[in-house]
Structure 1
């Protein structure tokens, strides 16, 4: 209605937010949310832009492979939010049991240790959304991959 009258307005209320977590069964779940009706969120898992005919969000997505999830909010058949994009990279350590010898600083602990194995490839535009920060002590991390295996490289993807 405001668009039709040429009135500039914020569309922030329609923005889609995503949150990844590792459940008790070692599966990555990606939950999409909006301040409005979640059934109006459309998403894709192939990196393409969401359109009105894209998948309708109903429940948290289970992430089982490297992929890009894009989502947007639709109303009256039109996209009314910006597109949210999240890259996932699945590796041998993704969703595995992780322990930290020292906990992150309180101000930089959103999501806890599991954010290091949740498969999210953080981007600079989302700076700090799911990063951990440590102060005063070395970071000592143990990731239990569940079996004996060889690694040829170790890389931090954030």
Structure 2
């Protein structure tokens, strides 16, 4: 009995992006469809004309046509995946800017004598994408940063009150 584990039994070391899988699946499906259509046309043509030359020509045409379809579909899939990743990175960049504004705004509010609202902690539900994990971590960092600012302000205020009363 073999101790080898089949690829289907192995756990993926990282989550698979469904968008990427759909794009790759579309490329493969298009290649398969074009190949089958071209070969079917070659077989039908060879039966109609009763010539092996037609079959050979059809098979010979299948390769470049399939390659051309594969090239076009691959470029489109790569462009779509790149655009989706760019959108994710823009979302992360916007979250970083929002975190910066949150911390600076909270510090300004404390300096004016107000009390900033402690933001809610993110729910942390995992979508399985690294970008989502970064967004959750940034949300947590914002909540913890404001909480730390409030603690420092309260400790500072308490230290100021105890030294003035002595």
Tell me the TM-score normalised to structure 1 length: 0.20
| Structure showing the higher strand proportion among its residues | 1
| Structure showing the higher helix proportion among its residues | 2
Tell me the TM-score normalised to structure 2 length: 0.19
The structure whose Rg is larger is 2
